[in-house]
Structure 1
Amino acid sequence: MDLHQEEWWDKAQQDTNAVILDVRTEDEFSRGIIPGALNIDIYKGQGFIDAVDALDKSKSYYVYCAAGVRSGQACAIMGRLGFEKTHNLAGGFSQWKGPVAMP
């Protein structure tokens, strides 16, 4: 489900089961992240699928990338792997106006 950033961030903050997942490259990740984000690079292909499949499927995942396209793909892959609660950040990190941290 695509959410605009205010709703995405509000839900992530209120959700006690939330995991913020950054699917950008390590280089992108190193330049700034949404606080608390876990990084699994979607470009790793099967490595991404294996890493995501090992995550706790009972949690809610708030997924983002640079523009919202890769994270949308990640949400679709996660859905096929049995994740029921994935939320894509519409517009991605490039349009993010919320808090930013360094990893």
Structure 2
Amino acid sequence: MIKLRIMGIITMLCSLLGCTAQTKGFESIGAEKFEQIIADTAKVIRLDVRTAEEYAEGHIDGAMNIDVLKDDFKDNAITRLPKDKTIAVYCRSGKRSKKAAGILAKQGFNVIELDCGYIGWTKADKPVTR
């Protein structure tokens, strides 16, 4: 009887954790795959969610900048980003872009996120604009 209860609890926890993992609503990908996807500028919008100062120091070519740390991020993104295109989001290291990707996914955007951030992008020797 105790064994059945424990198995039931384990099954329930696995189900809950599995559902949580599947509901983030976006895909985190590495620099190689990110580069391939953002090459299709007709279908993809590049979005840098760092500060304006960070963006000015260097960014992925063609990226627009909307700072995820500003209070108006969600409203600004909804106003400026088209929902019929994939939003390819990145930040410095991947933390802020995951936050931004989650916000955008909840608003109905199709989102991919650069897992390694701008730091990983430059370490992979990918092109940047300064």
Name the % identity. 35
- What is residue 86 of structure 1 aligned with on the other side? 111
Asked if 1:56 corresponds to 2:82, the answer is yes
TM-score normalised to the size of structure 2? 0.74
Partner of 1:75: 101
Does residue 26 in structure 1 map to residue 52 in structure 2? yes
Query: Per-residue deviation at 1:82?
Result: 1.2
Which structure would you say has the larger Rg? 2
Could you tell me which residue of structure 1 aligns to residue 34 of structure 2?
8
For the residues of structure 2 that align with 1:61 and 1:98, how far apart are their CA atoms? 19
Q: In structure 2, list runs of 5 or more residues that go unmatched.
A: 1-26
TM-score by length of 1: 0.92
Match of 1:86, SS state, is strand
Tell me, in whole angstroms, the C-alpha distance in 2 between the residues paired with 1:12 and 1:86: 12
Aligned length: 100
The SS at the match of 2:88 is strand
Higher helix proportion: 2
Runs of 4+ in 1 over 2 A off after TM superposition: none
SS in 2 for 1:21: strand
- Any unmatched runs of 5+ in structure 1? none
